[in-house]
Each structure stands twice: as structure tokens, then as C-alpha cells.
Amino acid sequence: MTERRMPMPVLDGDFEAFVTNLGKYNEGMLVGEWVKLPTTEEEMQKVFERIGIGKQDEFGQPYEEWFITDYECPIYGVQKMLGEYESLDKLNYLAALLDELSLSDQEKLVAIMESGCDEVSDIDDLINLTFNLDCYDIMPGINDESDLGYYYAHEAGIYSEKDLGPLANYIDYERYGRDIAMDEQGRFTDEGYVRVASERWDRQFDGELDDIPDEYRITGSGEAAERDSTIAVLVVEPGKEPYVKEIDSGLESLQHEVGGCIEAIYPYEDPVALVCNEEGKLEGLPLNRALRDEDGDIYDVVAGTFMVVGLTDDSFGSLTVEQMQKFSDHFKVPEQFVKLGDKIVAIPMISKEQQKQESIEQKDFEMNADTSGLTVAGHIGTWHTIDQHEVGGHSFYLMEHDTYGDEAACIIVDERGKLVLDDVYNGFDDDTLRLLDLEVKEVPEMPDPTLSIQDMKDYGYAWAGVLPAGQEAAEKALEKGCEVYRLYSDNTEGLCVDAKEIADHAAKGGMLGISKESWMAALEKENYLKAAEMSMEDDYGMIDGIINNGPKEDKTAEVKPPERGEKSSIMDRLKSAKAEKQKECCPPKKHKGEIEL
């Protein structure tokens, strides 16, 4: 029997991997063991037994997965190329190939890696490097450019130091060596000078486990069933209903779906796992779905996109038809989350498809004093009626949130349940009634006949105390002294201080709005001036709004405009104008809670 030689004698240390029980790790325990490679399948199975692979957890589910939390490798750069989910079979194969190299080939491989080999970036490349060492030359003892220049000038036989005589003392060997290294794309290492002898690599290993000889396989025989190349999973994205997708079973595909390093959690008795982004919360990914205990209380929330996957004996697999249906129903309704005191509360969302359907149904819907469970576009959760008021022949309803009650601001909707006002804190008070009066007040003509109030509401701005306008109509209204606003689809607005802001907002596709109150005042003033000029103008050919074309006097009060681009609420301006008249009149009313929903 041939005595086995000591492995990797030129290397200072062994090739080792710390194999960890993934299920235990997800439970908060680091259960693993250092494995010295190469090893055998029998020894690896003993390691698996010692770290609990194959044993059952408290729910009767076996611990079937492992990963690698650390490496020790004496070859420069190798440790950085290896990930947490590397194949143990590939690692063992690589270690065995390194062990079988001759001493000189080991020295060459060490020098090649130290030089920063461009052809090597992962474990498959490392394995192929062992088959392609002849593609590189190593020149021991040449450690810098001066050594290389001297070698080529004299020892390589290009020039004779004897023939050069005293001239040899004036040769710049360092510069000469630098040019040679650049030309050959060579690099200096502690082992010597490394240069590429041939750029034609023979890729004997293509990365498939079937290419690994059975004697190097340590997680199962080469005759074992091959892992499915694709698996059917359930993808759950924030704000969307789940959908079935067939993906590649490899690690990169799983990482791509969740947008980063993966983490598997096992919250259910079914043989399934939730695969999510390991650092989703740290990266600020949107909260997705809640995980609940047996009592229905939330104990965690998954951040970012995750997948529901099946489990095989040693990895992830496809879900069954029954599992697909079960977890599609379980995660069907998207959720939003609100912190209430020290608790996280999940609020069901409605999808865009449901919003469209409810919009169709609401065409024949009429509000009443007993309405409850109403969904309102732009606001999460459901609402119920707590008060009703008639303004200008129209009915309006004060709605309170079904979940948060008086801890949240109310909203006001019309007879069809469409949003009119939000952030209502004091019910139908004088300020609110004034805003509703402007909502229903009719105007003799629109500033922009091409746009209607419904167009504005469809855009996302709900209050009809503003009249929609395009860029040209808005600029003309601004010249007349009207208040012009940039409208946003989130039901907010910002005052335009000049024509440039109007143009900028229009260029971005935004809608503009004109204060209904200022527009009606401008129309009234315009009509009054025309009538006055008709009676006083000396020249009836000059009915132009300027009586006798004398100088105009601006008697409007000076109002400090907001900063450019600042959002200035028209409702706040109306309320502040009234507050100026009623200073010291009465103490402010107590406000409701200010949870924005």
C-alpha cells in the first residue's frame, strides 16, 4: 500500500470550511464544525450528524440545509472568491486537485494567484486553473523590474555583459524591466515573476456536478438524483397579489428574485420556506407581509419581495399544486403597516384591479348615515359615517377610520363616496363649511374650457375649490392676479410665484389649478371694469380695460410670496386669511389624532 504524502507542503496551512446548520442559524444558534478538505463522503456524513443535519426541529421538520460561514485557505485571494452557498462537492474537488499537484506546480499556482490572475473569479475558474498551469511561466528569483531588466539583458543571452564592458554600468535595468513587464503583461510576486505563456485555456470543468468524479463527491453519490434545474415558486411583492413563477434553482436566480443575499425562514408546519432578502430591513425595503403566531399576533414583518418555495431532501424545490393554492390565498391581500404605540398594526390594501372594480360599482352607489366599510382612493383601510351636512343642495359625509377611530384625522366624501377633503380634524366647522361652499359654487366660465373638474379629480386632486388649467390658461390667470397652483396626484398643491414655475410644472406633465375664489373675483372685476369703461371712456375704440388709457394704480395689498417651488396649501391660506380677521376671537378647538391614513 502506497503511503500518502502530506497535503500541500508548499502551502502554509490547510484548506478548511466551517459548515453550519442553516435551520439552527435561522433560529439564532450557530451550530457548525470546521471541515478539513479534501475529505470523504463518510467523514462528511458524520459531520452532518454532529451538527444536526437530518434531525427534526420542534415542529417535526428535519434540518436539511447547510451553508458555510467561514473559510481558511493558504492561497492568496481564494477566500474572497468563495461564498456562503458554495457546493461542498466542488470545494472538495478543488482541495483534492491542489493536494495532487506537484511541489513545483503548487508553487506556480500560488504565484499565479498572488499576481492577480484575471481569468479566475470563482470556484469553477479555480478548478480549471489547476488544469491550465502550463499557460503561465514563473521565473523564480526575479522580484522587481530591475531584476527582470538585468535578466533579459544578460542571463537570457540577448546581450553579453562581457561584450558590453563598462557600458553595462550605464544601462537603466529598472526602466528596461518595466517596459518588458508591460509588454508581456507580467507581474511580480514573492515567488518570482509571472507571465502569460498562452491565452488559450482548456476549460475541462464546466461547473456541472456530473463533471466531478464520484471519489470526490461528499454530499451524495454521482448516481444520486440530479437536482431540478428549474422550480415553480410563489413570488410575493409588496403591494401586489402573489403570482406563480418558474425560476432557475441556482443561488444566483434566488438572489435575483429577492434583490440580494437570501435568507430562508420556516414559519409554517408545511414543508415550505420563505426565501427573502437577508438585509431587507437594513436596506429600507418596503414592508411586505406580516408573520403571525397561533393567536394571530404579529411577531415579524417581511421586508421586500419574497418567495414561497418547496423543500426537498437537501434543497429548495417546487411547490405542489395544493401548496400553491394555500399560500396564494394566505398572502392574497397586500398589507400596509402602521405603528400604534408599541405595536405594529397591519392594514389590508386593495389592489388596482379591485379599485377599478369598486369604481365601477360605486357609480350606482349612494352614501347614507349608516355607511361603513367604505374604501377611499388614496387612503388606506376602511371608513364609516359619523356626520352629514348639506351645502348648496349637496350632501357631504364626515368619515372616521374603522380601525383607528378618533386617533386619526377624518375625511369628507360626496354622495358617491368620492373624496372631497382629507385631514379634517374638527368636523363640519366654519373653515370646513367654507371649503365645501367653494367645492359646490358654480362659475360662469372655466379658465380652461378643455379641462373639467372631473379631469382634475381623475388626475388625483379632489377639491373643486380649485379649477383645472393648462399652461397657457394658467399664465393668463396669473397676469390677472389669480392664485395659480401646481397640482399633484397625491391631493396636494403648491403655489406658483411666477410664470417659470407654471412652465416647469407643465413640462413635467403636471396639472395646474386656479383658486376658484380668485378666479371669480377676477371675472367680477373684469366685468365691472368693462361696464365702467363703457360709461366713461372718451374713445369707444379703446375699450381695453383702461379708462382713458391713464396710468393704472395698483392698490392690491402686498403679499409676500412663498419661496420658489415651496408647497403652499390653498386650504391653509384660506384658513389663515380667516384667522387674521378672527385673531383673539376664541381659543382653538381640540384636534383629533394626527395619524395620516
Of 483, 423, 489, 424, give the one whose Cα is nearest residue 456.
489
294 and 382 in a common domain: no
Question: Which runs of E-coded beta strand occur in 178-334?
Answer: 187-189, 192-196, 230-236, 243-248, 262-265, 272-277, 287-292, 298-303, 306-311, 316-317
Biggest distance spanned by C-alpha atoms of the chain: 129
Tell me the C-alpha distance between 129 and 137, whole Å. Answer: 13
Nearby residues of 414 by Cβ (< 8 Å), 6 or more positions away: 367, 394, 395, 396, 397, 420
Assess whether 73 and 219 both reside in one domain. yes
501 and 458 in a common domain: yes
Tell me if residue 361 falls in helix, strand or coil. helix
Which of residues 348, 368, 388 is at a domain's end?
A: 348
Same domain, 201 and 258: no
CA 480/CA 521 separation, integer angstroms: 10
204, 279: one domain: no
Domain total of the chain: 5
In a domain, residue 584? The reply is: no
Query: Does one domain contain both 57 and 132?
Result: yes
Residues 132, 17 within the same domain: yes
Residues 76 and 92 in one domain: yes
Please give the model's pTM, rounded to 2 decimal places. 0.40
- 98 with 22, same domain: the answer is yes
Please confirm whether the linkage preceding 74 is cis (ω < 30° from 0): no
* 572 part of a folded domain: no
Same domain, 412 and 487: no
575 domain-assigned: no
Neighbours of 366 (CB within 10 A): 10
Listed residues 417, 440, 463: the one ending a domain: 440
Residue 24 in any domain: the answer is yes
Domain boundary among 348, 365, 395: 348
Q: Are residues 164 and 36 in the same domain?
A: no
Give the structural domain span for 273: 230-348
**Same domain assignment for residues 545 and 527:** yes
- Output the tens digit of pLDDT for each of the chain's 597 residues: 333 334 444 567 789 999 999 988 888 899 999 999 999 999 999 999 999 998 887 777 788 889 999 999 988 889 888 989 899 999 999 999 999 998 888 888 888 888 888 788 899 999 999 999 888 888 888 888 888 888 887 776 666 666 666 776 777 888 888 888 888 888 888 888 888 888 788 888 988 888 899 999 998 743 333 445 789 999 999 989 999 999 988 888 999 999 999 999 999 999 999 999 999 999 889 999 999 988 888 899 999 999 999 998 778 999 988 899 899 999 998 988 877 667 788 888 765 556 555 555 555 678 898 998 888 877 777 889 999 999 989 999 999 988 878 878 899 999 888 889 988 999 999 999 999 998 888 888 999 999 999 889 888 888 889 999 999 999 999 999 999 999 988 788 889 999 999 998 898 888 999 999 999 998 888 776 666 555 555 554 454 445 555 554 444 444 455 555 555 566 666 556 555 554 444 444 444 444 455
Per DSSP, the three-state class of 111 is: helix
